[in-house]
Structure 1
Amino acid sequence: MNMLSCRNLKKIYQKQCVVNGLSFAVQEGEAFALLGSNGAGKTTTIKMILGLIPKDGGDVEKQENIRIGYSPETPYFHPFLNGREVLEFYGSLQNIPKKELKEQIPALLDRAGLEDSRTKVKNYSKGMLQRLALAQALLGDPKLLILDEPSAGLDALGRVEMMQTIRSLKEDGKTIIINSHILGDIERVCDRGIIIKKGNLLYEWEKGKENRSLEEIFVEKIGGM
């Protein structure tokens, strides 16, 4: 069963078509990758799925009443709040009952690899911000997670831990869409994905379908156009 379907998505900025008739479907319970070079239209596609920007064409269909968690490419949180306070704020925006929120927050911080300390966000590293963004995306137990560059800014160990967390979320039944440039991570975590360039679909990737690495496929498809 499809969790999400996009048909002929189109977005035009200043007369330039940055997403050009893009179609794909994400199945319930899978991890799906959006792949492409910088400027390929990946983040624009995500923002259209979320309704953050209007479409100039096409349709997005989601399962009815689905709760979505979103971790942006460049997360920003109020600098004078700590991690717990950030989650309390976003939980209140989602109208999560206080008792439920109080139970969720320590578990989410732990799952994201953040200690529940008094450290203010202004003193967070880039990697810590990414971890907090993941914890925020998990508020309210969403069925669909959309993660835009979730391992950006993390060191090698942090990246491994982030991918392990994402894999465990998939094992818990979450459906996950990931945009990342780190192809080795994608290959370990994702089931399927698409490679796009200048808003056009180049290739539909499926784990184990070809006797080549994802990196080899990516270089061939992106370099050959």
Structure 2
Amino acid sequence: MTSLKKNVLIIGGTSGLGYSIYRDLSTENKNDVFIIGKSNRNNLSKENFLSIDISTEDFMDKVKKNYINISHFDLIIHCASPYGEDKVPNAKEMHDFYRVNVFSFWQLVTHFIENKMLIENSIVISVGSTAALKQVDYFNPAYVLAKNSLMQSSDIFQERFFTLGIKFCHIVLGSLGQDLVLHSDIMKYIHFLNSVSNGCFPTRIILKSKTEFS
């Protein structure tokens, strides 16, 4: 398996999929894995963990200060998602989803690009949900619309990354769990993305769970 590059940033790495990715990457040699998250619930190293809520207006001030001595990131994985999937449309949840997955993500990568912390052949991966592939759900149209906006935004991000030689892929995930989409399988795709060249780099990967085919 191809070793991943050195400086890795995981946005939303304190629980769930993000934390699973962190555990795998941090055990690999020569990886410096940094995490952005709301709370340090797993007692991560203070040197590598930045506790901020990226849905706030001033979060970039902390980002700029915290990573001022980082030369560049070889791999950024964005898997933060504040949407609770409530059956009742919730205006605050939808606002936070847009803030975290569209506006704040764009602010982060723009800062890293402008300060040459994302360079040619750096890899950026965002993680979304197969809910974006559904028609508007009768019980919560806001949920599906929010998820769909992330996938549409990824197409816009792709245009900018391509011109800079940055490799970008949006992974659309189905349900996680035993006999569904496994965390270990997602790691295999991350390693795969690390191994392919710019000329054939996939812009989107869709991983459906078994239940979505039934």
Structure 1 and Structure 2 fold alike (TM over 0.5)? no
Structure 1-normalised TM-score? 0.37
Q: Which has more radius of gyration?
A: 1
Task: Please state which structure has a larger fraction of its residues in strand.
Answer: 1
The TM-score normalised by the length of structure 2 is: 0.38
**Structure with greater contact order relative to length (CA < 8 Å, sep ≥ 6):** 1
